[in-house]
Amino acid sequence: MIIYSKFNKSLSDTFEVTHIPELDNLVIDMENATSGKDGMLNGHYGKKHSDEWKKEASKRVSGKNNPQYGVKRTEEQKKRQSDFMKNNNPMKSQKIKEKMSIILSGKKRKESTIKLLSEINSKKWKIISPEGKIFEIKNLSQFCKDNNLGVGNMHNVSTGKTKSHKGWKCSKLD
């Protein structure tokens, strides 16, 4: 089960082992839901394929060896597949959303979980104050709270929707 794509391997394993048991209480039909430790029991766990093996595997399904090679799709087929993918994401289904809402309402996350998720989701930013002082930070939300700035407004500055917010300028580094 992939929890979050930004995790490095060690952080992902730690997160799975410590937090999947909390999620076991959720009454959600999750395919392949496990305790999170099963990957460690796999004989290939922690090993990596060699670059040579990866190139050979790629050749086996590239070009004319690919069963979809040369298959043309009509616009109708493309739209039908797009609609199917949009409407069949299991984590976006209304049923899952309702169950998650009921189960998680009123519950507080552990402080360690909050810090972990904050660290994972935080991006690097370059902030320039009205006085011209340059800050390189990792958590825009926290910086905005500490400096009485609106995080949404600062995000608008970073995307070019506005030139500045209260004289502050902002750009994303990663």
pLDDT for 55 beyond 60: yes
User: For the range 97-101, what are the long-range contacts, defined as Cβ-Cβ under 8 Å and sequence gap of 24 or more?
Assistant: 99/26, 99/27, 99/28, 100/26, 100/28
What is the dihedral sign for C-alpha 20, 25, 31, 34? positive
Token code pair at residue 72: 């043309």
The pLDDT of residue 38: 60
Average model confidence (pLDDT) across the chain: 78
Q: What is the pLDDT of residue 4?
A: 47
Q: What tokens appear for 148 in the block?
A: 């009485």
123-172 folds as Arc Repressor Mutant, subunit A (1.10.10)
With cut-offs at 50, 70 and 90, classify the pLDDT of residue 157.
very high
The whole-number pLDDT of residue 154 equals 93
Q: Start-end ranges of CATH 1.10.10.10 in the chain?
A: 123-172
pLDDT band at 30 (very low <50, low <70, confident <90, very high): very low
Q: Helix, strand, or coil here: 170?
A: strand
What are the two backbone dihedrals, phi and then psi, of residue 7, each rounded to the nearest 5 degrees? -65, 140
Tokens in use for 26? 């959720």
Name the percent of the chain lying above pLDDT 70. 73
